[in-house]
Amino acid sequence: MRAALGRVFGRTGNMLMHNNAQQRRRSTWAIVMLLCVISSGFAGTTFAAPGQSPSAAKLQLLGVSTTSYYGSYSERVNNIARGAARLNGRVVQPGRNFSFNAALGSAGTDDGFVEGYAIVNGRLQKVVGGGLCQVATTLYRAVFRAGLQIVSRRNHSYVINFYENVPGFDATVFSPDVDFIWRNDTGYPVTIYASTNPAKGTVTISLYGHSDGRTVQMVGPTVSNVVQQGTTIWQYDPTMKYGQVRQLVHGRPGMHVAMQRIVYTAGGRVLRKDNLPSQYLPWASFFIYGKGVTPPAGVKILPAGQ
């Protein structure tokens, strides 16, 4: 056994490192697939006044997160930018839930979203809105650091390279069944500010409100039960140009990640302890290819759309 690494987030949601003396047990965890039971309260989500800024409103930064999508294809970049814009300026009233899917609303081609690859039933498929999980993951990390109540969160089925800088620190969404939901359990409104930086390939989400002095400790992540990835997969895509090849997935092993969040009041009392485990399946490297391409020997070949 080994001691888990602890992280403490202060009032601004920034990360401080410290050693956690408690030993974490390694064990086999069941796959967490069921969603939490959701209570109502989405009507408490509104928009900030046009042009309102955190400084003008004299708000405090509660939590912030930046994730990188550098190297993503244009379809994914487009959807991330549009998804972030849908969240920007949202105001969550005290005691209300915030649903990512409800806030996002319609995300079809008529709304400016385009087809991108997403994980559907364990396979890569083209769906409108591929890449929105990047926005959901960034929001989840900001909510985690702010110490706000997490109502429903589910990890991806596989380790995604864009989020692996901190194992087990992601959130997946797929409307209407899989959602990320959190509650504003402070006594004041919380405003979401979301933006992308195309030059750097990053998306940033900041949560502003009035701090009650709570702090957050991350216990973990602790990785166990690692299972190596399988045979590389090549899938034919008839929409691709002649001779074109894209690598969509850089294979990652399966694993269990144990993580806990402890939220403290300003006086040091434990407000809540959240167990947030993640179970990932092993994922082989995944390529798509167009006409005129012969996949290399030894790979698993899938027909279009399988």
Q: SS3 sequence, the chain?
A: CEEEEEEEECCCCCEEEEEEEEEECCCCCCCCCCCCCCCCCHHHEEECCCCCCHHHHCCEEEEEEEEECCCCCHHHHHHHHHHHHHHCCEEECCCCEEEHHHHHCCCCHHHCCCEEEEEECCEEEEEECCCHHHHHHHHHHHHHHHCCEEEECCCCCCCCHHHCCCCCCCCCCECCCECCEEECCCCCCEEEEEEEECCCCEEEEEEEECCCCCEEEEEEEEEEEEECCCCCEEEECCCCCCCCEEEEECCECEEEEEEEEEEECCCCCEEEEEECCEEECCECCEEEECCCCCCCCCCEEECCCC
Question: What does the mean pLDDT of the chain come to?
Answer: 83
pLDDT tens column, 171-186:
999 888 999 999 999 9
Query: Measured between alpha carbons, how far is 273 from 260 in angstroms, rounded to an integer?
Result: 7
What does the pLDDT look like over 255-278, one tens digit per residue? 999 999 999 999 999 999 999 999
Angle between the N-to-C axes of helices 132-146 and 74-87, in degrees from 0 to 180, rounded to the nearest 10:
40
Question: For position 34, what pLDDT does the model report?
Answer: 23
CB-count burial class (<10 Å; 0-12, 13-18, 19+) for 82 = buried
- At residue 168, φ and ψ (nearest 5 deg) are 75, 25
To which residue do tokens 């797929």 refer?
174
Domain residue spans in the chain? 2-302
pLDDT of residue 176: 85
- pLDDT for the residue 123: 66
Higher pLDDT: 154 or 108? It is 154
Rounded to whole angstroms, the Cα distance separating 151 from 253 reads: 28
Q: What's the half-sphere exposure (Cβ side, CA atoms, 13 Å) at 170?
A: 26
From the centroid of its chain, how far is CA 203? 11
Read off the amino acid at residue 302: L
Task: Provide mean pLDDT across the span 208-213.
Answer: 96
Residue 187 predicted with pLDDT over 60: yes
Task: Answer yes or no: is pLDDT of 127 > 90.
Answer: no
- Written as one letter, the residue type at 268 is G
- Of the chain, the end-to-end C-alpha distance in Å amounts to 41
pLDDT over 50 at 42, yes or no: no
**Which has the minimum average pLDDT: 19-33, 128-142, 220-234?**
19-33
Looking at the predicted structure, is the pLDDT value of residue 24 above 70? no
pTM for the structure as a whole: 0.79
